Structure 1
Amino acid sequence: MQNYKKVFLAAAVTLAFSAGAMAETLKMGIEAAYPPFNNKDASGNVVGFDKEIGDALCAKMKVECTVVTSDWDGIIPALNAKKFDFLISSMSITDERKQAVDFTDPYYSNKLQFIAKKDVDFKTDKAALKGKIIGAQRATLAGTFLEDHFGDDITVKLYDTQENAYLDLTSGRLDGILADKYVNYEWLKSDAGKDYEFKGDPVEESDKIGIAVRKGDPIRTKLNSALKEIVADGTYKKINDKYFPFSIY
C-alpha cells in the first residue's frame, strides 16, 4: 500500500509539472503606431486601448500573452506566417480581409470623418472636394473609401503611418485627412492638432473592428467568449472610460 501511495504521488507530481510546462503563452500582434489605440510610451513599451483589451482577454482565457509589433502594411501576412497568434490592432472587418483571416465579434465600432484647418471652408461632398489633396493611412478603410468614392476627383495621398499623414497636414501638403473618428479625436486634442477640427458628418458609420486570427483557428471561439466576459463584468467599460468619455463598443 505504501509503494502504491508513492507511485500515485509521483504520478501526480509529474502531471502537475507537465501541466505547468504546457501553460499556454500567446503572442498578440499590434502595429504600435495608432494612438490612442496602440502606440509606444517614452520607455518603448506598447500601450493603448488595443493592448489593454488584449491583456484583459488573455486574463480571462488564463493565458500569458506577449506583444509582437508589426508594420501595418505587412500585419496580416505576419499573422499568417505565425509571427503571432492573434491580431488586435484596430482592424476593420471587411469582406476582402475575410478571404485571408477570420475575425472575432467586433470589439468596438468605428466611424470615418474628415478633419481640416478650422479657418478653412471645407465641405465634404464630391463637388466641393474636387481638386483637393486628401490623406489617409495606406491599407485602411479610410484609404479605400477615398479611392472608391472620390476616384479621380481628388488626389489621394496614402501614408505608411497615421502620424506621417498628420505631419503632412500640418506642413500644408494636405488639404485634409480622412481617418477613424476616434484617432482623429485624440490627435485634435494635441498641440499639433489644436488648429484643426472635424469637418462634416461621418462619411461611414458601419465600420466594425475585430480581432483577426488565422483561418479556422479555434482561438477565435476563446476570444469571443472572453470578450463577452469582459463586457459583462465591467472590465471593458473601465478600459473604455480610460480613453474616451463615451462608449465605443
Structure 2
Amino acid sequence: MKLKLLSLAALMALGLNAAHAAEGELVIGTEGAYPPFSMADASGNVTGFDADVGNAVCEKLNLKCRFVVQAFDGLIPALNAKRFDIIISGMSITDERKKQIDFSNSYAEFPNQFVAKKGSPLAEANDLDTLKKDLNGLRVGVQGGTTHAAYVEKNMPDAQLMTYDTLDQMQIDLSSGRLDTAFSDTSAQNDFLAKPEGGDFVLVPYVIDSASDATLGDGLGIGIRKDEAELKDKINAALCELGADGTLKASSEKWFKMDISRNCK
C-alpha cells in the first residue's frame, strides 16, 4: 500500500529533502543474514537489533521505515547508488569506509572472538601471542568485506583466510569441518554455539576489543551518503535521544543479553 505523503511543512520541519521522504519513509539498507543484528525472513521482514534501531530512529523522525536486504559487501556501493537512504547493518566505523561514506555517531560497540573445536589447542588461547601461534596454518573463516576479515589479514598472515558472503555459509563450513575456526563478534558466535551444529565448539578465551586495532573500527554507526549533512544531524539527534531514554540499552539486552549500546559523549 502506498504510504501517505508527508506535507511540505512537515518535511521542512524535519530538515529532510524530498529525496529521502518522498513517500514519508526512510529506506534502510541491511544485510538481513547476520543474527542477532539483522535477520530477514522469506517475506523480507527484517528483525533484530539493527531493525529495532532503524525503527526507533524512524519513529523519532516521524517517518516510516522500509528495509532493503543487500549483501554486506554491496551495502556501501548501493547506498552511493541511492538504492536506499542509510545503512544500518552492524557496520563498524572505519577510516577506510569513511573514504566512501559518512557515519552517524556510534550507537553500539562489541567484543570479538574466535571459536574453536572443543579440546583443540586453539580453544585454550588466552593471549594474543598464543592466539597468533595457534592460528598458523589453520583455515580461518570470516565474512567478506568485514572488519573481521581485515583484522585477520593484517594480524594473522600465516593463517589461511577464507571469506564468505554470509555468516550462515561460514558456519556451515565450520560445522562440517571445512574450516578450523571462524572470527566474528561475540554475539554472532554465541548464536552459532547455541545451535545444534555449534555443540562441538567453544569460544576462544582471548577477547579482541574493537578499540584494540584500527581495522576493527570505532563502534557501530549508521552509514549515510557524504552529501547528507542535514540527515546526519537529524539521525545523530535521534540516536542521542534513544540512548538517553534507554531504548538502545533495552533492545541491546533483548538481543544480546548484555548492553552493547553507546550513548552520546
| TM-score for the superposition, normalised by structure 2 | 0.83
Change (3 A) 1:172 1:23: closer
Matched, 1:215 2:226: yes
1:92 partner SS: coil
Contact map agreement 2:115 2:183 (CA 8 A) in 1: yes
The residue type paired with residue 215 of structure 1 is K
Task: Give the C-alpha shift of residue 200 in structure 1.
Answer: 2.6
Distance 1:43 1:234 in 2: 30
1:186 and 2:191 equivalent?
yes
The 3-state SS of whatever aligns with 1:79 is helix
Select the residue among 135, 156, 177 that pairs with 1:172.
177
State the distance in 2 between where 1:59 and 1:224 align. 14
**Residue in structure 1 matching 2:205, options 200, 204, 207:** 200
Aligned residue identity for 2:237: S
Contact 1:40 1:47 in 2 (8 A): yes
Q: Percent identity?
A: 40
Distance 2:52 2:205 in 1: 31
Cα RMSD, aligned residues only: 1.9
Instruction: Tell me how far apart the structure 2 counterparts of residues 202 and 219 of structure 1 sit (CA, whole Å).
Output: 35
Work out whether residues 37 and 49 of structure 1, in 8 Å CA contact, stay in contact via their aligned partners in 2.
yes
Other structure's SS at 1:225 match: helix
Aligned pair count reads 233
Q: How far is the alpha carbon of 1:126 from its aligned partner?
A: 2.0
Q: Taking structure 1 as the reference length, what is the TM-score of the superposition?
A: 0.88
**Does 2:153 match 1:141?**
no
Flag the 1:86–1:126 CA change in 2: closer, same or farther, 3 A: same
Deviations 1:168-202 (A, max 9, x none): 10010111001111111222122221221110312
Letter in 2 for 1:173: R
Deviates more, 1:101-110 or 1:33-42: 33-42
1-side partners of 2:25 and 2:160: how far apart? Answer: 45
Take 1:17 and 1:147, find their aligned partners in 2: how far apart are those partners? 50
8 Å contact kept, 2:29–2:79: yes
CA distance in 2, matches of 1:147, 1:137: 12
Q: Deviations over 1:108-142 (max 9, x none)?
A: 10222100112222135222221111110001011
Q: 1:59 to 1:98 in 2, by over 3 A?
A: same
**1:1-249, aligned counterparts within 5 Å?**
19=9, 24-41=24-41, 43-122=43-122, 123=125, 124-151=130-157, 153-206=158-211, 207=217, 208-217=219-228, 218-249=230-261
2-side partners of 1:142 and 1:17: how far apart? 44
Segments of 5+ residues of structure 2 without an aligned counterpart are 1-5, 12-21, 212-216
Query: 1 CA distance for matches of 2:40 and 2:164?
Result: 19
Choose between structure 1 and 2: higher strand proportion.
1
> Separation in 1 of the partners of 2:110 and 2:59?
25
Shift of the 23–69 alpha-carbon distance from structure 1 to 2, 3 Å rule, reads: closer
**Structure 1: how far apart are the matches of 2:244 and 2:68?**
28
| Superimposed CA distance per residue, residues 81-126 of structure 1 (whole angstroms, 9 cap, x where no aligned partner) | 0000010000011100000000111111022210011222213522
SS state at 2:91 partner: strand
SS of the residue aligned with 1:186? helix
User: Secondary structure in 2 aligned to 1:185?
Assistant: helix
62 and 154 in structure 1: CA distance in 2 versus 1, 3 angstrom threshold: same
Deviation at 1:24, TM superposition (A): 3.2
Provide, for residues 10-59 of structure 1, a one-character-per-residue CA deviation record: whole Å limited to 9, x for no partner: xxxxxx96557966321011110101100123654111110111000110
Runs of 4+ in 1 over 4 A off after TM superposition: 16-23
